[in-house]
A and B are shown apart, each in its own frame.
Chain A
Amino acid sequence: MSRVASTPLWRILSAGIVAFAVLVLIYLVLPTLVIVPLSFSSDTFLRFPPSGFSLRWYESFADSTDYQLAILNSLKIGVPAALLATVLGVMAALAVVRGSMPFRRTLAALMIAPLVLPQIVLAIGLFPLLAKVGLVGSYPGIVAAHAVVTIPLVFITVSAALRSYAPTFELAAMTLGANPWRTFRHVTLPMIRPGVIVGFIFALTFSFDELILAMFLTSPTTRTVPRLLWEQLNFQMTPIIAAATVVILTVTIGLLCLAVLAGASARRRMAGTARE
C-alpha cells in the first residue's frame, strides 16, 4: 500500500478524505457553538451577531421561577427514575448474562426495546392507562415512564461489564461458601461498578432530556426543563432560552465528563491491582 499511497493521486485523495471529515465534524458541533454567543446577547430578540454583549439573560434565567421549578422537577423526576432504572437494569443484566434460562436472546431484545420504540407510541398508550389510575401529572407516573425507557441504557452498559470478565470469579466465591448476596456484594458489584455508574448517568441524562413523555404525562406543576424549553420555543424566542441552554449544556457535559473520569479511574485502579 505504501508504494501506491505515495503517488500524488492517492495523496490528494487522502487529503480530500481528511478535509471532508473535518467539514463533517464542524457541521456536527456548529449548532452547539452558535448558541453560546447568543446567550450573552444584549438584544431582546435572537439576532446574530448580537449587537452587544451582556449577562442580562443569565440574570433573568437565574431569576425565573419557571426555570427554578422546572429544574427542581427534572431532578425530582430524573434521580428516582435513574435509580429505579439502575436497580432493575442491573437485575435484568445479571439474569440474562449470568443466568441460564430459555429465550435469553429474546429477553435481551425485550430489555432494549423501550429505547428503540418511538416515545410517541408509548406516550399515547401510557396516557389513558395512567389517567385511569389518576397518575397523569403526578411524579410517580412520569418517574415510572422514564425508568422504563432508561432500563435499556443500564442493561446495555452492565451487560457489557459482565461479559468482560469470566464468571469463574463468582464461581470461586460461591465455592468458598459465599451466598448469592455476598457474592454479588463483594465480587460482582466491585467488578461491574463502572458499568453501573455509567448506566446511571446515561439514564439521568436521558431523563433530563426527554420531551415527549414529559409533554403527555407532566402537568404545569410537574413539568420538566425540556418541556418548559419546548413551550417557550413555541411562544417567545428571547435569548433566555439560549442562556438556559448553555447552563444545561454545561451541566450535562460536566456530568458526562464525570462519567468518563469514573470509568477511566476505575480502569486505572483495576489495571494497577492486576499488576501488583
Chain B
Amino acid sequence: MAGKVAGASAPAPGLAAPRQRAAAWSPAKGGLLLLALPLAMLALFFLLPLLVVLGQSFTAPAGPFDSYVRLAGDSALRNALTYTFQTAAIVTLAALVLSYPVAFLISRAQGRWLVIGMVFVLVPFWTSAVIRSYAWLVLLQRRGVLNEMMLALGLIDRPLRLTNTDIGTHVAMVQIMLPFMILPLLSAMRGIDASVLRAAAILGANPWRQFLHVYLPLSMPGVGAGCVLVFISTLGFYITPALLGGSSQMIAVAIEQQVSRLLDWPLASALATLLLVLTCLLFMLYERLNRRLAGAGEAR
C-alpha cells in the first residue's frame, strides 16, 4: 500500500474510515491552527483583492451604478461578453470532440505507447502559453509556415489571412486547452472496468451500443469536469486572443485595455466582477461534478 503514496488522486483505501481520520494526525485544535496561516494569506492576497474589485466597480464618478449602466449600454462591451461565451462554447465543444478518442486510446494503452501518449499530452501542457501563442503566430501569419506550405503545394495562389481572424484564434485556443480536456477524461476512463464492456457484449450489445449505453455514461463525470474546466479557463483567456486577435474582444483583453489604455478602473472592475461571478457559478458546478466523480470512485 505504501507504493501508492505517489499515485495521484487515488481514492482513500477502505482503512481511512472517518472515525479514525478524526482521531489521527492532529487534534481538531491543531487543524485550525495549521489552517490559520494559509487562510490569512488567502484572505489578504486573494479575497481582499476580489473585494477591492467589487468595491472599485461602484466608484464611477457619475454614481455608484454608473459603470454597470455603461456596461449594459456599451455595445462593444456587450459584444465582448457574448463573444467570450460563444468562444468558450466553441472551444469547449471542439476540445471535447478532439480529446475523446485520444483519451480513450491513451487510457487503453500500455507500456511504451502509454508513455508516448502522455508525453504528447504533457509537453504542450507544460509549454508556456506565451510561447505556444507565439508559435501559432509563426504558423499562421501572412508569410507564416502554413501559408508558405500551401503556396508551395499550389493549394492557394495568395497567402490567406489567418491571424486576426476568429478561425485562427480558435484553432490556437483549442490547441492550448486540449490537455485540460484530455487529462480529466483520462482519469475517468482509466477508472472504467473493462469487464463491464465484456458483460454488455456477452448480453448481445454491438460495439456501438456498448459505447452509447455503457462506456459513454461511465465516462460522463470526466466529460463534465473537462468541459467545465476548459469553459472556465477560456472565459479568462488573455494571451492568445490578445496576440492573435479576432473579430471581437474577449472579456479579459477588454478588461486589460480598459485599465492600461483608457485608465477606466471602475468600468474594468465592473467587467471583472461580472467575470468573477460567472466563473464562481461555473466553479461551483465543477465542484459538484467532482464530488459526484469522487462519490462514484468510492462506491466502486
Flag whether B62 is at the interface (Cβ < 8 A): no
With a cutoff of 8 Å between Cβ atoms, the chain A residues found around residue B21 in the complex are: 98, 100, 167
Q: Which of A1, A125, A256 is within 8 Å of B210, CB to CB?
A: A1
Contact (Cβ within 8 A) A160 B121? no
| Interface presence of A76 (CB below 8 A) | no
Q: Which of A129, A249, A263 contacts B52 (CB 8 A)?
A: A129
Counting CB contacts under 8 A, is B10 at the interface?
Answer: yes
Say which one of B69-77, B218-226, B230-238 lies at the interface with A. Answer: B230-238
| 8 Å CB contact of B232 from A28, A46, A116 | A116
* Residues B24 and A35 in contact, CB atoms below 8 Å apart: no
In the complex, per-residue mask of A99-132: 1 if CB is within 8 Å of any chain B CB, else 0: 1110001010111011011111110111011000
Q: Which of A24, A31, A120 contacts B255 (CB 8 A)?
A: A120
User: Which residue from A32, A94, A183, A264 sits with its C-beta under 8 Å from B132?
Assistant: A32
Are the C-beta atoms of A121 and B50 separated by less than 8 Å?
Answer: yes
Interface string of B243-282 (1 = CB under 8 A from A): 1000000001001100100000100110010011001000
Q: Which of A47, A95, A124, A191 contacts B26 (CB 8 A)?
A: A95
Cβ of A114 and Cβ of B42 under 8 Å apart?
yes
Judge whether A273 is part of the interface by a CB distance below 8 angstroms.
yes
Asked if B22 contacts A100 (CB within 8 A), the reply is yes
Chain A residues 119 to 162 lying within 8 A of chain B, measured CB to CB, are: 119-122, 124-126, 128-129, 144-145, 147-148, 151, 157, 160-161
**What B residues does A1 contact at CB under 8 A?**
197-198, 201, 207, 210
User: Interface segment, A54-62, A63-71, A226-234?
Assistant: A226-234
CB distance from B172 to the nearest CB of A (A): 8
Set of chain B residues within 8 Å of A230, measured between Cβ atoms: 130, 239
Q: Give how many A residues have a beta carbon under 8 Å from the other chain's beta carbons.
A: 106
Q: Which B residues from 82 to 105 make CB contacts under 8 A with A?
A: 98-99, 101-102, 104-105
Distance (whole angstroms) from the CB of B281 to the closest CB of chain A = 12
Q: Name, among B26, B175, B243, B272, the residue most crowded by chain A CB atoms within 10 Å (CB to CB).
A: B26
Whole-angstrom CA separation of A164 from B175 in the bound complex: 33
Q: Chain A residues with Cβ under 8 A from B129's Cβ? A: 209, 211
Question: Of B6, B35, B98, B286, which contacts A194 at CB under 8 A?
Answer: B6
Q: Which residues of A contact B276 (CB under 8 A)?
A: 117, 121
CB of A276, distance to nearest CB on chain B (Å):
11
Task: Tell whether, in the assembled complex, residue B236 and residue A121 are in contact, meaning their CB atoms are under 8 Å apart.
Answer: yes
Q: Give chain B's interface residue range (CB within 8 Å of chain A).
A: 35 or more
- Say which residue of B6, B48, B99, B232 sits within 8 Å of A129 (CB atoms): B48
Beyond A126-B45, A249-B127, A270-B5, is A24–B16 a contact (Cβ under 8 Å)? no
On chain A, the residues within 8 Å of B291 by CB distance are 105
Given A31-B139, A98-B25: A211 in contact with B130 (beta carbons within 8 A): yes
The 8 Å CB contact of B98, one of A24, A89, A94, A128, is A24
What residue of chain B has the Cβ atom nearest to residue A271's Cβ? B3
Q: Does A12 contact B (CB under 8 A)?
A: no
Q: List 25 A-B contacts (CB under 8 A).
A: A24-B98, A48-B144, A49-B148, A95-B31, A98-B24, A99-B30, A101-B32, A111-B42, A116-B286, A119-B236, A120-B255, A120-B272, A124-B53, A126-B45, A148-B46, A164-B6, A170-B25, A180-B25, A195-B8, A233-B134, A253-B126, A267-B6, A270-B2, A270-B5, A274-B3
Further 18 A-B residue pairs, CB within 8 A, beyond A25-B120, A148-B46: A1-B197, A17-B104, A34-B139, A48-B138, A48-B145, A91-B38, A98-B25, A113-B283, A118-B238, A118-B275, A120-B272, A122-B50, A124-B265, A126-B45, A194-B5, A215-B256, A242-B138, A263-B6
Give residues in A with beta carbon < 8 Å to B.
Answer: 1-2, 4-5, 10, 17-18, 20-21, 24-25, 27-32, 34-35, 38, 46-49, 88-89, 91-92, 94-96, 98-101, 105, 107, 109-111, 113-114, 116-122, 124-126, 128-129, 144-145, 147-148, 151, 157, 160-161, 163-168, 170-171, 174, 180, 183-184, 188, 191-192, 194-195, 198, 205, 208-209, 211-212, 215, 226, 229-230, 233, 241-242, 245, 248-249, 252-253, 256, 263-264, 266-267, 270-271, 273-274
